[in-house]
Amino acid sequence: MTKDFNIRDNDWDPSFPHHSQYTDELLIIADSLGLDLSSPTHQVPTRYADNNNSTNSVLNLVFIPSYNSGFNQHEILPDIRKPSDHTPLIIKIGIQDINNNSIKHTIKKDSDQEKNFIENIISNTHLLNTEDIHTKEDLEICVNYLSEIFQTFWDKHSKKTHFTKHSKE
């Protein structure tokens, strides 16, 4: 979570001499969301005054998940802030290269297996008598029978396909 919180506080702005009354509330809210205040890699203002009567300040903050040890700091980039008076904040998130193999059963479109699957479904659903459905239990029996038909013929006509990060879409 990041934004211009408009709260000056010596907890994140060493040039500001006071503790704000809103800081504790903000930190309680962040904690309730499972977030911790991120530390910048180098301490510089996040808002630059546009006149000589104001001072530069730290108003933009970054809160990150407490449980995530993969990143805990952000960068403040004052050199690329123009035309805004606020600086961009950057956080780098490392993404692990995990080999996430998946196995799925598939039937190739317009194949003989698809035709046989559909024929088996049609011929077996014609055997289903829906005239005797009068109760919830009767309906459940009918639905379970349909489910068994689809599962049986899916298992019969589909093939296992292994998907990896290198598979084509």
CB proximity list for 48: less than 8 A, separation 6 or greater: 56, 78, 81, 85, 86, 87
In a domain, 169, yes or no: no
Give the DSSP H/E element, type plus range, for residue 58: none
Residue finishing a domain among 42, 57, 90: 90
Four-residue CA torsion sign, 79, 82, 85, 89: negative
The pTM of the full predicted model, rounded to 2 decimals, is 0.53
Is residue 67 scored above 80 in pLDDT? Answer: no
Q: Can you give the pLDDT at residue 126?
A: 84
The total number of structural domains that make up the chain: 2
Q: What is the pLDDT of residues 126-160, one digit of tens each?
A: 888 888 899 999 999 999 999 999 999 999 999 98
Nearest to 40 by CA among 74, 65, 4: 74
The secondary structure of residue 79, as a DSSP letter, is: G
* pLDDT, mean of residues 28-42: 90
In a domain, 97, yes or no: no
Do both 75 and 107 map to the same domain? no
